Structure 1
Amino acid sequence: MSEHKHHEHSGHDLVQAAEAALTQAGEQWTGMRESVFTELAKHDCPASAYDIADNLSKSRGKRVAANSVYRILDLFVANNLAMRVESANAYLANTHPGCEHDCIFLVCDECGEATHVDHDGVSREVRGVAKANKFQARRPIIEIRGICAACR
């Protein structure tokens, strides 16, 4: 894995980048997928499928099933449009869709904020440990639980 640079997207630009990455991967960008991604991208802290379904239900005026949202979020994770914070069973929009990298999260136990950091050196080490144990790492995720600067 080499050092990489990527452009952080936000707002409408982020939604367009997600659409481009998903269609380039051969998937369809439907209205529901756009709604789920747009809602996910509004959250600074990891959002659950239930949070997203509730918010979409309110804004659409009809019930959106959490199971449908889970399926879409799984598709987003598989295509690097979103990242799953395993310990919270919640998701964050990937601000650089389509860029493949390992997930390293700093998760605050007080406010719930999860900061995603890229560190190619740590990623190389983790993948090296897996390889040394004859294990093929597909999607390493590292979560460091603690207290963020704002909550200290």
Structure 2
Amino acid sequence: MARVAHAHQEHEGEDLVEAARHTLTDSGEQWTGMRQSVFEELARHEKPASAYDIADNLSQSRGKRVAPNSVYRILDLFVRTNLAKRIESANAYLVNTHPGCRHDCIFLICDDCGKALHIDDDRVTGALRTAGSDAGFSDVRPVVELRGLCEECAN
């Protein structure tokens, strides 16, 4: 089955931070120093990171304790404003490299190394939204996670 892709621009480095800042401020939120630090720390991770991972790393780099609860609040804000995606089964987060694009992700998670990537398939997630609506639910948000072995771990 072919995937239905979106036309969106992937960002990295300073361009990603700037795109995130614009997305957050356009949503009516403030881009604070702490929010920037959390975003930059999350962006450094190639694999999903927990709030505790981020808090520990920020505590070390700042030389003072950063509370995981504060990081959780910021990560929740990032998910609401499309700056990050939450891997539900791992209670961990990935930076969204195209923060201006809204869509439902299908996550592929490696059971061996923990790597996660996402694909976009609007037919699958659209069908899930329709099924939820047909069952009388509103504000349906598909959460699709597929677990297995990535190509590197399978070989």
TM-score > 0.5 by shorter chain: yes
Amino acid at match of 2:73: R
Q: What is the CA deviation profile of residues 84-106 of structure 1, one whole-angstrom value per residue up to 9, with x for unaligned ones?
A: 00000000000001321112100
Amino acid at match of 1:129: A
Amino acid at match of 1:48: S
Task: State the alpha-carbon separation in 1 of the partners of residues 139 and 103 from structure 2.
Answer: 12
Q: Which aligned pairs between 1:1-152 and structure 2 lie closer than 5 A?
A: 4-152=6-154
Alpha-carbon offset, residue 132 of structure 1: 1.6
For structure 2, which runs of at least 5 residues remain unmatched after alignment? none
Q: What is the CA deviation profile of residues 39-95 of structure 1, one whole-angstrom value per residue up to 9, with x for unaligned ones?
A: 000111000000000000111111110000000000000000000000000000000
Amino acid at match of 2:18: Q
**What secondary structure sits across from 1:59 in the alignment?**
helix
How much identity, in percent, do the aligned residues show? Answer: 65
Alpha-carbon offset, residue 146 of structure 1: 0.7
Task: State the alpha-carbon separation in 1 of the partners of residues 139 and 111 from structure 2.
Answer: 27
For structure 1, which runs of at least 5 residues remain unmatched after alignment? none
Task: State the alpha-carbon separation in 1 of the partners of residues 5 and 46 from structure 2.
Answer: 26
Task: State the alpha-carbon separation in 2 of the partners of residues 33 and 5 from structure 1.
Answer: 28
**What secondary structure sits across from 2:8 in the alignment?**
coil
| TM-score normalised by L of structure 1 | 0.95
| TM-score normalised by L of structure 2 | 0.94
Task: State the alpha-carbon separation in 1 of the partners of residues 79 and 68 from structure 2.
Answer: 16
Task: State the alpha-carbon separation in 1 of the partners of residues 37 and 134 from structure 2.
Answer: 42
Alpha-carbon offset, residue 4 of structure 1: 3.1
Q: How many residues align?
A: 151
**What secondary structure sits across from 2:57 in the alignment?**
helix
Alpha-carbon offset, residue 136 of structure 1: 1.9
